[in-house]
Structure 1
Amino acid sequence: MKKALALLLAAAFVLAGCTTGDDAVSRGANFQFVSPGGKTDIFYEGNDRQEVPEVSGEDLFDENKDISVRDHRGKVVVLNVWGQWCGPCRTEAPELQKVQDDLGDKVQVIGIDVRDPDRSAPQDFMRNRQLTYPSIYDPAGRTLLQFSGYPRNVVPSTIVVDKEQRVAAVFLRELLATDLKPVVNRLAAEGGQAPDAEQPGR
């Protein structure tokens, strides 16, 4: 009886699709975020990557236009959660623009503006900093509900999606262009050699 129970538990473990390592746990076809025990930089490799959920919403500058991560399959997508009220976002936003400017053939940066009840304030934030990458206007943070278990209270935070629309990295902190560029280059080189690809520092 004990032997049969042990075999059943082992089979259940395999079917659950548990990931290796302490960074995260993903099960099933859709991405599920699990607290990494205080880590702020979480990387997913190979079969540990799960498909990004449907991420779309109104353009911050045009409520009749939708922005969707699905429109950028084949490119690395950097989803950045921000708000004009967020101090670290003021430093981070120009860094994200550098990534877009320097690696635009490989990456699409998309902002998700949260907790801004009035569109004009985040619009001014983007104009003043000459940010050209698009942002979803999501004052209630509903977009983030698609990411099961994701810490919606952490702003800024960033989700990096690979060319196959799978979550490859999560950063629960403010980023510099030098943090993101190696990650984007590495992901962009997957499935083909990129001359300037760098390995991310951990």
Structure 2
Amino acid sequence: MSRGRKALVAVLALLTLVVVSGCAADKDAVAQGGTFDFVSPGGKTEIFYDPPSSRGTIGDLHGPDLMHEGKTVSLSDFPNQVVVVNLWGQWCGPCRGEAGDLEQVYTATKDQGVQFLGINVRDQRSAAQDFVTNNNITYPSIYDPAMRSLTALGSRFPTSVIPSTLVLDRQHRVAAVFLKALLAGDLTPVVERVAAEK
């Protein structure tokens, strides 16, 4: 292939990449048939989906209960509740940092019809259980060392970002996604706003 032809192919490939990237950047997520389809938001770590009618639902999220072997915990266990889903691992420094804040928000908002649900990933069960006990975490977690339950979050959800937190409204549609560790002050107003929706 001549040098000129190679240059032309490289330019066309670059233009194709720019066009594809431009299309993906227009939307953070799209609801297709009512399902949540995450698209990389170009570096954003806080993403909000409003109005509620534009939100999509995640798939059938369920798995083994971290603290009670033989028991299963599922998103469907919490009908008509706002559910805050947090992906975590005891090996993750930012997860350790946010654990107290998440428990604080859960305690402060559970009487408003809010439930928290953790998804523990890439962990040994005993280490994760010790973490829950030592940090006085009172909400349940799915034990998912192989990250199989995360397929419910959509094939494009960035499962490499731990911790991640999703706020689901009472119909279990995705209202917000946080791709970072959270403080109580970050999360509380979002959870309270979603809980107050009619």
For Structure 1 versus Structure 2, the TM-score category normalised by the shorter chain is 0.7 to 0.9
Partner of 1:110: 117
TM-score, with normalisation over the residues of structure 1? Answer: 0.81
Partner of 1:158: 165
Secondary structure at the residue paired with 2:36? coil
- Aligned residue pairs total 171
Partner of 2:62: 56
Partner of 1:186: 193
Over residues 108-140 of structure 1, what are the superposed CA-to-partner deviations in whole Å (9 max), with x where a residue is unaligned?
111100001x21000011111111111100001
Please say if residues 27 and 39 of structure 2, whose CA atoms lie closer than 8 Å, have aligned partners that are also in contact. Answer: no
**Greater Rg by CA:** 2
Unaligned runs of 5+ in 1: 1-20, 192-202
Secondary structure at the residue paired with 2:110? coil
Please say if residues 65 and 143 of structure 2, whose CA atoms lie closer than 8 Å, have aligned partners that are also in contact. Answer: yes
Please say if residues 66 and 143 of structure 2, whose CA atoms lie closer than 8 Å, have aligned partners that are also in contact. Answer: yes
The structure 2 residue matched to 1:80, chosen from 78, 86, 89, is 86
Q: Distance in 1 between matches of 2:59 and 2:92?
A: 25
How far did 1:150 drift? 0.5
Query: Which structure has the highest helix share of the two?
Result: 2
Partner of 1:199: none
The structure 2 residue matched to 1:37, chosen from 35, 38, 42, is 42
Unaligned runs of 5+ in 2: 1-25
- Within 5 Å, give how 1:113-132 maps onto structure 2: 113-116=120-123, 118-132=124-138
| Matching residue's letter, 1:180 | L
How far did 1:49 drift? 0.3
Partner of 2:98: 92
Please say if residues 52 and 161 of structure 1, whose CA atoms lie closer than 8 Å, have aligned partners that are also in contact. Answer: no
| Matching residue's letter, 1:155 | I
TM-score, with normalisation over the residues of structure 2? Answer: 0.82
Q: Is residue 182 of structure 2 the alignment partner of residue 175 of structure 1? A: yes
Please say if residues 29 and 36 of structure 2, whose CA atoms lie closer than 8 Å, have aligned partners that are also in contact. Answer: no
